[in-house]
Amino acid sequence: MGVPRPTAATRWRCTLCGNLTRFDVTRTVKAVEYVHLDLAGEPTVEERDVVSETIESVRCRWCNAEDQIALVDRPDTSG
C-alpha cells in the first residue's frame, strides 16, 4: 500500500515535529521514455510518459519519522 499523494488542497505534515517542507520520498515509477542517443552514445530523455507511480514511503527530514506523516489542508491563500 502506498502513501497518499498531496493534492492542490492538501500537503504533507509531520505530526511529530510539525515539518511541512522537507521529506525524503521513496517511490516506484513505471514510465515509457523516448531516449535519444547522440553520435557519442550519450543518452538524453526527450519524452517521458509516466504509466504508474506509487509512493512507497515518506520520511520527515527533520526528525526522521516515517510513520508520522499525514495529509493536512493547505492554507487558504485566496485573499
Higher pLDDT, 20 or 4: 20
Interval 11-32: pLDDT, tens: 999 999 999 999 999 999 999 9
Q: What is the pLDDT of residue 50?
A: 96
Cα 65 from Cα 12, distance rounded (Å): 13
Cα 48 from Cα 34, distance rounded (Å): 6
Mean pLDDT over all residues of the chain? 92
42: left (phi over 0), alpha (psi -120 to 50) or beta: beta
- pTM for this prediction: 0.74
pLDDT-derived band at 76 (thresholds 50, 70, 90) equals confident
Comparing CA positions, the residue from 1, 8, 19 lying closest to residue 70 is 19
pLDDT-derived band at 63 (thresholds 50, 70, 90) equals very high
Q: What is the pLDDT of residue 4?
A: 87
